[in-house]
Structure 1
């Protein structure tokens, strides 16, 4: 069965997500308790933009760090690169919530460009360099966005409840698939979820095996993501490779059945 161009794009995005070793979808409350340097995924909604922070900066063309402009010359203190070309990049701080809490996410240039559908240079040109806050129309494009965001956790930023975003996906089908396969937590209360360490580690170990299996299945059989009318079907692993094969998933399914 032929795979449509739309599904080619979906496949690439699923491949990128599933091949990431940061395949842990965690709630914000638990994320704040992690102290190791690592990337995680969080799912939630952008509910506001910090309008007190500048939304753009002049960037070094080599390392993308912020640079200072003196007269017409721009010099990077990090890589010593000098240029006369103005390179504008987004850096937008947003208020983000999920079912467990809230935090500040810093959207990088690529993430903002995907959300706003305009380069930072274009937005700056609309209102001039003297205005550092996002236009209301652009802010409205961001607020209300629901998605899956890959965030960088460091020993310093989790206490501040502020995380930089290194990746994202807003596709609902991919969100549902990823959540069902790689979310291992259950909340013990609305305020704070509980995570038995042994169960979490067992589930996370199982993920690394299942991610590899999923990739083999998808790459070996391109038809696993194909168009059937207006529907998109995704082939699930079977037998011992199915997510339900792990004890953590079985417990989760049993708990869900008891609740019903």
Structure 2
């Protein structure tokens, strides 16, 4: 039987993830997931671990008020409130998208600039200012917050086990930053799924996920693997014309609650 074996949320794009037993879904995926982002103060361009591996050591967790709690070694914890939807808007760029979103203020910016060691700003995306997903995949009204392209990412546990076996050591799922992990399928079975149901919520699997250098960064230490693993091994058997594929991007149709252990039904 297929079941949901793990849930992960990443409140800050490229920050530390948190393991959940239960999570709510809204129009942008898991509530609180990738609703916050760091940008260069001067250019407004987004920052990630690809260029700033130190971000892997930044704890930025969603809190009960809907805001963000920042924490890092050597820094005092800071609670950041959700900014007003139409106040202190800042122009930002994420991949090919440009948008204006609320800035979280100078206190948060100063804290994060000291941690990153360069001038940055913290921004938040409300539903009203969310991006649309990549044209040609999904539906015209599919929305995404600050995730790379789609609101959710799914990986089969057997797929991780397969690449771990080929690399020759256990790999942590957090290297691949999924939201949903499915147990009970064969390796890469998710490549052939089109629609699934978990609990009362249906999901569309719209596009395979192309992987990058971020997978080579240890999520606990921030150290990049000298042999470029697991990306080097994935390249030997998961490379396609548009990238090295591992995991499936998906969109939830409707809201609801997910709990670890729920059965998963393949609809198509």
State if a TM-score over 0.5 links the two structures.
no
Larger proportion of strand: 2
What is the TM-score with the length of structure 1 in the denominator? Answer: 0.28
* Length-normalised TM-score, structure 2: 0.27
Q: Which has the larger radius of gyration?
A: 1
More helix by share: 1
